[in-house]
């Protein structure tokens, strides 16, 4: 019985000491595996111990017997947050000092003596774990700002906001580009299918990997455990790596591919070639399309490209511009769209460069694998190619849209169809290549022919373009085969040019009206004057670009006379455009000299206000 009484007394003593210990401790809660069961204990530091204030710093830690039994990432995340809360509360409860608390057991950590005088390495004496304290500079270097991959970002973007349908893209292009209905339809469908292809081609294992990365991603400002000296010898990195390896399914390879019954369909891209006369809106379509896309879009010029090793831009600079538009995010750049402008200027010219055509055929050969899909070595940000600092970009999912004027291509089509040329007839000794085609086009132009008939003839022939016509123009067959969608753009007739002057969001006449309104003056252009301007632009054969040069020439004198004058309106009619008379001015009623001086001063002060009003 005495033994029983002593046991009961010991139990009472043990029970009385536990509550007192709990009353002297205040802290967060953590989960510690004890004898195979999860228990919840509240541990804390005594308030009498002086501590130093630290910012809130969550930490990852592993238990001595490895990961938790369920192996889930959620349990780890919870314990991390709770451990961080415990450390921050214990640190803030002190009154100053120079010591850290262990995020695992709550004991004091001592600094480890190293060869370098640094206080970054600390050790917990109780649980024998080493930690390293990261500064702000280390955090910027070591922790990735975007923990989720671009593939997962695309998936989330599809769930939050679906891609715009082709009709919506078409209506947006219609506000800025007049005509070219077929080209706008092709581009709208191509962009929509590009969104769908990006989403479909994300591998399923990559999606699950992104989810695991999200669960186990490290937060900025943390206390990292670099080694765990425990009886089982498990470090944090090893336990996390085991969990990630268990959860991420590996890609099928070898015999598994042969045995698998159903494979996922991988969507391939269809590159586009836009061809049409100069000034028909090819580059404007690309610039307008770039504003409304959620994927990186780069407009590149083919005239400066040369073969590797020669003076000029290398072919990799095309992908470098796309990488720059994606803010040097490689995975995001691999889902972009590249617009190759002036692609007809890299056509081969036979007879001049017998050995090597570095600016023509050599560039086409370098672009072959780029268009189809390969891994390109692109120089890193702020580095030259010679240093060898490159990043690898996969071009498999990048959509390429090429455009060019292909001047003289209609002559080649007409010769293939054995039709008589409009004009002087078929020249018998017409050579091959783009220069010969341009010379034939120039020889066909006569001063007596009607511009409208020439336009209709060209458009009719360009609608029948085939790959062999492009090959005869100077493009190599492999290059033409990698651009399966060929879209001819029609020439601009008189009605379309009149609409271009007034209808689009950024039309030419409203731009000049805004310029005059800054000087408190109106600009009125009659309907007959617009038609006369369109006819002049047709004669110049430069498309919509000829409209601005004609307007500049017409309005030079009014723009010289109007500022700081009493002119309130400028009128332009058909006779002014044809050069038969000067533009008409409407002047304000005359005022006294004192009022005039006063008005001119007010006008100069309020000039920025007038500019803002004109813009709106």
Specify the range with the lowest mean pLDDT, choosing from 38-47, 110-119, 178-187, 607-616.
38-47
Instruction: Quote the tokens at residue 401.
Output: 């849209």
What's the pLDDT score for residue 226? 39
What's the pLDDT score for residue 404? 95
What's the pLDDT score for residue 482? 96
Within a 13 Å sphere around the CA of 5, how many CA atoms are in the beta-carbon half?
Answer: 2
Specify the range with the lowest mean pLDDT, choosing from 75-79, 450-454, 523-527, 565-569.
75-79
Q: Band of the pLDDT at 452, cuts 50, 70, 90? A: confident
The torsion region of residue 396 among left (phi > 0), alpha (psi -120 to 50) and beta comes to alpha
Instruction: Quote the tokens at residue 387.
Output: 């240093």
Q: Band of the pLDDT at 151, cuts 50, 70, 90? A: low
Q: With the C-alpha atoms ordered 575, 578, 580, 584, is the resulting torsion angle positive or negative?
A: positive
Q: Band of the pLDDT at 129, cuts 50, 70, 90? A: confident
Q: Band of the pLDDT at 67, cuts 50, 70, 90? A: very low
Q: Is the pLDDT of residue 370 over 90?
A: yes
Q: Is the pLDDT of residue 368 over 90?
A: yes
What's the pLDDT score for residue 577? 95
Q: Is the pLDDT of residue 539 over 80?
A: yes
HEC sequence for 285-296: HHHHHHHCCCCC
What's the pLDDT score for residue 260? 77
d(CA 583, CA 574): 10
What's the pLDDT score for residue 247? 47
d(CA 190, CA 179): 18
d(CA 212, CA 114): 36
Q: Is the pLDDT of residue 132 over 80?
A: no
Q: Band of the pLDDT at 29, cuts 50, 70, 90? A: very low
Q: Band of the pLDDT at 34, cuts 50, 70, 90? A: very low
What average pLDDT does range 14-33 have in this prediction?
46
In angstroms, the first-to-last Cα distance of the chain is 100
Q: What is the mean pLDDT of the chain?
A: 74
What's the pLDDT score for residue 125? 80
- pLDDT tens readout for residues 308-364: 889 999 999 999 999 999 999 998 899 999 999 999 999 988 765 556 788 889 999
d(CA 305, CA 311): 9
DSSP one-letter string for 147-211: -S-HHHHHHHHHHHSPPPPHHHHHHHHHHH--S-HHHHHHHHHHHHHHHHHHHHTS-HHHHHHHH
CB atoms within 10 A of CB 182: 13
Instruction: Quote the tokens at residue 52.
Output: 């130093």
d(CA 234, CA 242): 11
Within a 13 Å sphere around the CA of 199, how many CA atoms are in the beta-carbon half?
Answer: 14
Q: Band of the pLDDT at 464, cuts 50, 70, 90? A: very high
Q: What are phi and psi of 464, to 5 degrees?
A: -105, 25
Q: Which of 5-9, 381-385, 418-422 has the highest mean pLDDT?
A: 381-385
What average pLDDT does range 256-279 have in this prediction?
86
Q: Which of 125-129, 253-257, 273-277 has the highest mean pLDDT?
A: 273-277
């Amino acid at each position: 019985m005495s033994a029983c009484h002593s046991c009961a007394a010991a139990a009472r003593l043990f029970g009385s000491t536990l509550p007192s210990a709990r009353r002297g401790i205040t802290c967060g809660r953590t989960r510690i595996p004890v004898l195979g069961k999860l228990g919840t204990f509240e541990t804390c530091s005594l308030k009498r111990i002086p501590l130093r204030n630290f910012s809130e710093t969550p930490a990852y830690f592993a238990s001595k017997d490895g990961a938790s039994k369920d192996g889930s990432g959620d349990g780890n995340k919870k314990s991390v947050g709770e451990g961080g809360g415990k450390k921050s509360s214990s640190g803030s409860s002190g009154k100053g000092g120079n010591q850290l608390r262990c995020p695992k057991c709550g004991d004091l950590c001592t600094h480890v003596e190293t060869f370098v005088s640094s206080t970054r390495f600390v050790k917990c004496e109780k649980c024998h774990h080493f930690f390293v304290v990261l500064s702000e500079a280390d955090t910027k270097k070591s922790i990735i700002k975007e923990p989720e991959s671009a593939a997962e970002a695309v998936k989330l973007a599809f769930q939050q906001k679906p891609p715009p349908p082709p009709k919506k893209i078409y209506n947006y292009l219609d506000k800025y580009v007049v005509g070219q209905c077929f080209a706008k339809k092709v581009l709208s469908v191509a962009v929509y299918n590009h969104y769908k292809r990006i989403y479909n081609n994300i591998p399923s294992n990559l999606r699950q990997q992104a989810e695991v990365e999200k669960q186990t991603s490290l937060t900025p400002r943390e206390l990292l455990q670099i080694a765990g000296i425990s009886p089982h010898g498990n470090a944090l990195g090893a336990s996390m790596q085991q969990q990630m390896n268990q959860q991420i399914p590996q890609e099928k390879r070898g015999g598994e591919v042969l045995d698998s019954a159903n494979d996922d369909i991988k969507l391939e891209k269809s590159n586009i070639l836009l061809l049409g006369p100069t000034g028909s809106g090819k580059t404007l379509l690309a610039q307008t399309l770039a504003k409304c896309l959620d994927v990186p879009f780069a407009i590149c010029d083919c005239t400066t490209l040369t073969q590797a090793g020669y003076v000029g831009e290398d072919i990799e600079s095309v992908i470098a511009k796309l990488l720059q538009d994606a803010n040097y995010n490689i995975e995001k750049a691999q889902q972009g769209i590249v617009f190759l402008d002036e692609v007809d200027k890299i056509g081969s010219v036979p007879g001049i460069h017998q050995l090597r055509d570095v600016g023509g055929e050599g560039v086409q050969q370098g672009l072959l694998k780029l268009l189809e899909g390969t891994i390109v070595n692109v120089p890193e940000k702020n580095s030259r190619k010679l240093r060898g600092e490159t990043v690898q970009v996969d071009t498999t999912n990048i959509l390429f849209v090429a455009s060019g004027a292909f001047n003289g291509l209609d002559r080649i089509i007409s010769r293939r169809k054995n039709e008589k040329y409009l004009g002087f007839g078929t020249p018998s000794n017409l050579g091959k290549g783009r220069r010969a085609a341009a010379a034939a086009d120039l020889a066909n132009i006569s001063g007596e022919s009607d511009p409208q008939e020439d336009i209709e003839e060209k458009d009719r022939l360009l609608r029948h373009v085939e790959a062999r016509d492009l090959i005869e123009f100077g493009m190599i067959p492999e290059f033409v085969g990698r651009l399966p969608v060929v879209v001819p753009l029609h020439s601009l007739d008189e009605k379309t040019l009149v609409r271009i002057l007034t209808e689009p969001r950024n039309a030419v006449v409203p731009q000049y009206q805004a310029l005059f309104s800054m000087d408190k003056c109106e600009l009125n252009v009659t309907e007959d004057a617009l038609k006369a301007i369109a006819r002049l632009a047709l004669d110049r054969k430069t498309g919509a670009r000829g409209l601005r040069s004609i307007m500049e020439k017409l309005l030079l004198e009014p723009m010289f006379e109007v500022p700081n004058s009493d002119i309130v309106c400028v009128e332009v009619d058909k006779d002014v455009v044809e050069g038969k008379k000067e533009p008409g001015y409407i002047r304000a009623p005359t005022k006294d000299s004192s009022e005039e001086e006063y008005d001119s001063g007010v006008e100069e002060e309020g000039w920025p206000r007038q500019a803002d009003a004109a813009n709106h």
